Structure 1
Amino acid sequence: MNPGACYTCDREAEFDRLPPREVIGYDDRWRVVHSTGSGLLGWLVLVPRRHVMELAELTAEEAAGLGTWQVRLARALAAELGTPKTYVAEFGEAPGFHLHFHVVPRPVDLDPDLCGPGVFGLLGRGEADEVSTHERDALARRLAARLRTPVDAEV
């Protein structure tokens, strides 16, 4: 992949210098970041650490890890934010995109118009509605601490 051709890969190349909000959790195959441009604290994005464009391109190991990460993130968000439900979505319609999964906590008091697919109305509203860098980093640190618990100890 050419530098600058994929934002996610470019960020991965800077892994050791990334802020907490971009390395909430990771293993050899996946990395968890807090979404930018979101009006919802805890809107996470799960990205493969290698360049992958389609779900069908995942290896068996990546696919197995995907399910584990989604469940672990839903549990961590519920414990940290008190959210009863977590949405998971993957659309990837932009040309040349890097495969990614939105892992979105659904607050109890979420406006009914923003439930289900409507939750995407909380993305791209502008800086005034965006969760601050400070808030994203603070939550990232708390989630990272929860994710350090071994998988088999979670439930």
Structure 2
Amino acid sequence: MNEIDLHYPPEACPFCNIASAFPAPSSSLRTPTYTEQAASIPTEKEADHEKVSPNAYVVLASRDVVAFLDILPMTRAHLLVATRVHRVKVQDLEGEESREIGFWLPILARVVSRVAGVRDYNIVQNNGARAAQVVPHVHFHIIPRPETMPQIQNKSWTMFGRGQRDELDDEEGVKIAGEMRSVLREELKLICGKDKVGKL
């Protein structure tokens, strides 16, 4: 184990806490139907943000992937897409997890774009402390890039850092996550089409 693994062992990992508080649907099919994929999007009641501490604003809770708002967002609608099982780096992913992340990531990018009202965004994934990975659990950041950038004291727009990142307000988090779940359902209907079977 390296030092970052010791800093955040799986039993103390905040992303593992979120994954366990928001269980996956009970289907075991490897090619889920639209209905089974849609069951991965929590209802308003299931998405109770106070199930864990700190609060989690969950958008997706599928078999192998969870997606939730960053609680220290760089911009409005900054979303994290994480593996359900504790994996430290991308190299630790197994095949099914990789396929499922590959399925959901472009869909969630469209959701972020629509909800944030932007056309440009970053998808960032860090591996290890020297690569700016703060929580040692595989996750992708989808960061909307609005036309008007937020005011930053040092006038530089860096990808990550310890600069100005305000905590996500509870009311705003609930609102954004609810809107994202609604848009995600719409996107899922569009890609599944008439046969109602997704391609994982």
Deviation of 1:140 (Å):
0.2
Indicate the residue corresponding to 1:142 in structure 2: 179
Stretches of structure 1 that go unaligned for 5 or more consecutive residues are none
Task: Give the 4+ runs in structure 1 shifted more than 6 A.
Answer: none
The superposition leaves residues 44-79 of structure 1 with CA deviations (integer Å, 9 ceiling, x where unpaired) of 111101111121222222212222222111111222
Identity, % of aligned pairs?
22
Instruction: Answer whether contact 1:8 1:98 (CA < 8 A) is retained.
Output: yes
Which residue of 120, 136, 148 corresponds with 2:160?
120
Q: Which of 86, 107, 118 is equivalent to 1:51?
A: 86
Gaps of 5+ in 2: 1-8, 23-45, 51-55, 192-200
Count of matched residue pairs: 148
**Alignment-derived partner of residue 99 in structure 1:** 138
Does the Cα contact within 8 Å between 1:89 and 1:101 map onto a contact in 2? yes
- Is the contact between residue 90 and residue 127 of structure 2 (CA under 8 Å) also seen in structure 1? no
2:138 aligned counterpart, secondary structure: coil
Partner of 2:188: 151
User: Normalization by structure 2: what TM-score?
Assistant: 0.63
Bigger proportion of residues as helix:
1
Deviation for aligned residue 1:101? 0.9
CA deviations on 1:72-104 (whole Å, 9 max, x unpaired) are 111112222211112111113238711111111
Between structure 1 and structure 2, the one with the greater Rg is 2
8 Å CA contact retained: 1:42, 1:104: yes
